[in-house]
Amino acid sequence: MVSVLHRLFSRIPIVFLFAINTTAFAQHATLVPSEEVVLPGTSDSNSPAHWKDGQLAIFQSLSLPLISEGSAQTERLRVRPVLLNSFTHYPLWIEATWLDDDGTLYAWYHHETWVCKNGLSVPEIGALVSKDGGHSFDDLGIILTSGDSANCNAGNGYFAGGHGDFTVLVDPWRFYFYFYFTNYGGSSQGIAAARLPFAARMRPVGQVSKYYQHGWTEPGLGGRVTAILPARVPWNRTDTDSFWGPSLHWNTYLNQFVMLLSRACCTPNWPSEGIYVAFNPDISNPESWSTPAKILGQPDAQWYPQVIGLRPTGTDKVAGRVARFYMKGESHWRIVFGY
């Protein structure tokens, strides 16, 4: 998959990527009802996918990850637990993956630490690596943490702050991996961004930089952020109103990056007001995303929206004009992109 993604990106002139910025926001997405596809595990996060040796592998997580494999997303998939070399960062949810040309699989996880007597936790983001296609992983450590103090009086029902519920994509030139994540505490809550040099993927601790005040100027561990999609009502209040849980892919039909988002509003415990889509020709410019547009509301909207492409090489990272649209590991729609 990675070599295909690289070829797709390499065929896009760099000048074109930036030149279309002024017309990027004419893009749109429409959901069309389709036959049901239900992944075999439980998806309590984004469910990244990759192709290896003609087999599609999809990760699903609920405190610990499972890997499901088969010849197509619409067929019966074989499920097995993922083996971890360390449980230091249990529980963890694998939310993003990337397969290197040499077969090494890199993955990034959401980890929660319980710091409040009332059960609120603080998420952080870590890195994994696998030499066997994702059947087992070595933990490379925590790479993204919040520098803000935990707020054990936060009213959202789950988190006292922290960074989590994220996605990761590599840029077209393999300079950086870009992280788009949810910041749940501090003075700039909402969707935030960070990046990891491609060359540091095997030793990522201390190598991540957060986006802050128009530049990649803050350290991944404890640094400040500037939310690119700020919360309208912060996560410490019971009536939170914020986008969260971004899922990104490169769309070969639009020649755009696409971000799907959930919106929580406006009572505790993450009620899903709707699912939204935004577009951006340049993943390295977090401020160039279009204004998110609603594509699904209640009563159908749930959590963890993402695509899996329909082509033989399609995953959650690459899709074309038509793709499968998933929420919580279930697909009842196809998503159609257009101008």
pLDDT, one tens digit per residue, over 10-55 is: 333 332 232 233 344 589 999 999 999 999 999 999 999 999 999 9
Q: What is the pTM of this model?
A: 0.92
* Residue 192 belongs to domain with CATH number: 2.115.10.20
- Domain of residue 106 covers 2-338
Please list the alpha-helical segments (H only) found in 179-290: none
| pLDDT(93) > 50 | yes
Structurally, how many domains does the chain consist of? Answer: 1
Segment 111-120, tens digit of pLDDT: 999 999 999 9
Instruction: Kindly state the tokens that stand for 189.
Output: 């809550």
Among 292, 147, 282, 126, which residue's Cα sits nearest to residue 212? Answer: 147
Instruction: Round to whole Å and give the CA distance between 95 and 67.
Output: 12
Among 337, 333, 325, which residue's Cα sits nearest to residue 47? Answer: 325
Give the pLDDT band (50/70/90) at residue 261.
very high
| pLDDT(3) > 50 | no
Segment 141-190, tens digit of pLDDT: 999 999 999 999 999 999 999 999 999 999 999 999 999 999 999 999 99
Virtual torsion, Cα 248, 48, 94, 4, nearest 10 deg: -90
Region 213-221: mean pLDDT is: 98
